[in-house]
Amino acid sequence: MSSKINLLICLFFILHLWAAANVTAQKIGIYEIKKGDFSVKVTNYGARVISVLLPDKHGNIGDVVLGYDTIQEYVNDTSSFGAIVGRVANRIGGARFTLNGTLYKLIANDGENTLHGGPKGFSHVVWKVSKYKKDGSDPRITLTYHSPDGEQGFPGDVLASVTYALKDPYKLIVVMKAKALNKATPVNLAQHTYWNLGGHNSGDILSNDIQIFASHITPLDDHFIPTGQIVPVKNTPYDFLKPRRVGSQFNKLKNGYDINYPLDSTKKMKPVAIVHDKKSGRLMNLQATSPAVQLYTSNTLVKKGKGGFVYQPYSALCLETQGFPDAVNHPNFPSTIVTPEKSYFHKMLFTFSVEKY
């Protein structure tokens, strides 16, 4: 008799899990916004950018972001391909911080640290599509997510949103907002697209020219946590104040770039970086309202991606505009604390063009 009861209980749980998985699957979709031959596809799983189609100097259309062919691969993804990462992007040392006298212990998912909000951060949840206009004069999509109090260890309820919009000529606008509904909490959202202007399957980005409008970095300890210092890039391999090849000083690095740059400009909308792929002619100019940007050159990437192409280390670069990493544990860094009275706002502007020389 007990074995029959146990079997019924097992069947109940299997059906329950199947139903939950099926409901989740129904909520996930792919949405395209399009303006002429400029197209961006987004999924509400992690509010991810999954493709950006642009012409090259010969007029050939190519996909310039790394990704996968199926939603299930994004669900299993560990590289944050195209995602909005949060509630706090980058690392929090020791997976803990103190706010208003209370110690908050987070879920560690990067050694002893918390990375990109924890194992189930904003990149691994289903966002709600609140507005969507595919084409016309103002194509855009807005996605929202309600993060509950205690999620991944963070205090308070947060309502987050991201809008992707296309403008002429070849401009992608990303606006991230967040409101703390009842408690002070850290918020630091970042857009984590892996860019390869030559095309997602064109090889490495080491020959790309890059210019970063930042004269300092925040150096890291052996666990990739900022030491709290802010040091100049002059006479170091981190100096991109003038355009030069991404890989031109790799011989002076342990393993590529994965570093935060405090931006020099004090303007609200700051120049961040310019990337140029000479072979395709494509150029990307990035501006943002954030105080810093993380340059990451996909140093350990080995993934089977779109069309079965295997991405290797240095197949793309990420320019994650953000607040300073681990700011919750460094009082000298700009604060990332959001309160019910002070909301979070973060705008990015990608301007794409073609240089034919």
Q: What is the CATH number of the domain that holds 314?
A: 2.70.98.10
- Answer whether residue 213 is part of any domain: yes
Active site residue 192: yes
Domain around 43? 30-354
C-alpha closest to that of 304 among 40, 46, 61, 72: 72
Three-state DSSP at 1 gives coil
- Answer whether residue 218 is part of any domain: yes
Q: Binding site residues, as ranges? A: 90-91, 192-194, 258
Q: Binding site residues for beta-D-galactose, as ranges? A: 90-91, 192-194, 258
pLDDT score at 14: 44
Three-state DSSP at 81 gives coil
Question: Model confidence over 54-84: pLDDT tens digits?
Answer: 999 999 999 999 999 999 999 999 999 999 9
Mean pLDDT for 114-135 is 98
Q: Kindly report the pTM of this predicted structure.
A: 0.92
pLDDT tier for residue 356 given thresholds of 50, 70 and 90: confident
CA distances from 195 to 12, 244, 249, 331 (A): 45, 17, 20, 33
Distance spanning both ends of the chain, measured CA to CA: 80
Given a contact cutoff of 8 angstroms between Cβ atoms, the answer to whether 167 and 253 are in contact is no
Mean pLDDT for 172-186 is 98
Three-state DSSP at 82 gives coil
φ and ψ at residue 232, rounded to 5 degrees: -70, 150
Q: Average pLDDT over the chain, rounded to whole? A: 93
- Answer whether residue 23 is part of any domain: no
Identify the active-site residue in 192, 200, 330, 346: 192
- Answer whether residue 6 is part of any domain: no
Question: Model confidence over 92-120: pLDDT tens digits?
Answer: 999 999 999 999 999 999 999 999 999 99
Active site residue 346: no
Based on the structure, what is the number of domains in the chain? 1
- Answer whether residue 179 is part of any domain: yes
pLDDT score at 15: 38
- Answer whether residue 281 is part of any domain: yes
Query: β-pairing, 209-212 with 270-276?
Result: antiparallel
- Answer whether residue 3 is part of any domain: no
Identify the active-site residue in 200, 216, 320, 346: 320
Question: Model confidence over 263-285: pLDDT tens digits?
Answer: 999 999 999 999 999 999 999 99
- Answer whether residue 1 is part of any domain: no
3-state helix, strand, coil in the chain (%, to 5): 15, 40, 45
Q: What percent of the chain has pLDDT over 90?
A: 92
Mean pLDDT for 289-297 is 98
